Amino acid sequence: MGLQSAWEALMMFLYPPRCPACGRYRERRGAWCADCLARACAVRRLRMTTDERDVLAEAWALAIYTGALRDLVRRLKYQRRRDALAYVETFLRAAGPMFFERCLLFPASNDAQRSQKNLVAVPVPLFYKKEQQRGFNQTELLFEHFLQLHGIPMKRLLVRTRATRPQYGLSKDERKENMRGAFAVPDEKRSDVQGRDILLLDDIYTTGVTCAECARALKKAGANRIVVLALTSGQV
Ligand SMILES: [Zn+2]
């Protein structure tokens, strides 16, 4: 037995792979029980305010921010545990097709056509200090594998121009004020935005204020249709 596989065997013994929802033993890391996976899929179009509809064509979430998905997002975000990603990848393989079937950006298309579309995925950016602190943008990591699988390029076309306060605990008006003008498309990236359809990615969609503000900056730079794809949302 090589050193590597001996190490893996030890890790499997100490930390056996388990379903992230019910904790039952699984044969490999990243695997869910079929029932738990089906239950976690809550692919749906989110309600939007008039403000949001001005700049967003649609907003979608794939899961409710609860249970296993909430735990996985937190594990990645606050404990920097990338082992959460294998479980998210399995989830996205199951939830992804339901989104593609129903989202207006993908009318009856298959993966081959999808990759040729004038489409680019853009993650909601973190303020650079925050990203330095965390070491990554969690939204990019959550969707990276999924986008590769479907031939959708991901580009960092937005920057956060200033630090913002955490949105929780603020009223809707305070949230808007907090986020106003917080995002921009850098001049050298404007040509990548012009005339493009954008899949705006977020880990958790709460009120839509952040995504709408991102979309406003993208529209200003000439983006065509903008659809939000959030991994989770508290909105049911
Ligand atoms: Zn399970």
pLDDT of residue 163: 82
Assess whether pLDDT exceeds 70 at residue 94: yes
Length of the chain as a residue count: 236
At residue 13 the predicted structure's pLDDT band, cuts being 50, 70 and 90, is: confident
Q: In the chain, at which residue ranges do the beta strands (DSSP E only) sit?
A: 44-45, 58-64, 119-123, 159-160, 183-184, 197-205, 226-233
Q: How far is the CA of 151 from the centre of ligand 1 (A)?
A: 30
Q: How far is the CA of 35 from the centre of ligand 1 (A)?
A: 7
Q: How far is the CA of 14 from the centre of ligand 1 (A)?
A: 19
At residue 7 the predicted structure's pLDDT band, cuts being 50, 70 and 90, is: confident
Q: How far is the CA of 20 from the centre of ligand 1 (A)?
A: 7
Q: How far is the CA of 103 from the centre of ligand 1 (A)?
A: 28
Q: How far is the CA of 86 from the centre of ligand 1 (A)?
A: 15
- Cβ contacts of residue 150 below 8 Å, gap of 6+? 96, 100, 111, 114, 115
* pLDDT tens, residue by residue, 120-160: 999 999 998 889 999 999 999 999 999 999 999 999 999 99
Over residues 36-65, the mean pLDDT reads 97
Q: How far is the CA of 114 from the centre of ligand 1 (A)?
A: 32
Q: How far is the CA of 231 from the centre of ligand 1 (A)?
A: 19
Top mean-pLDDT range of 116-120, 215-219, 232-236: 215-219
- Cβ contacts of residue 57 below 8 Å, gap of 6+? 104, 105, 225, 226, 227
pLDDT of residue 109: 57
Q: Where do the structural domains in the chain lie, given as residue ranges? A: 41-233
Q: How far is the CA of 31 from the centre of ligand 1 (A)?
A: 9
Assess whether pLDDT exceeds 70 at residue 115: no
Give kind and range of the element (H or E) at residue 69: helix 67-79
The CATH code that applies to domain 41-233 is 3.40.50
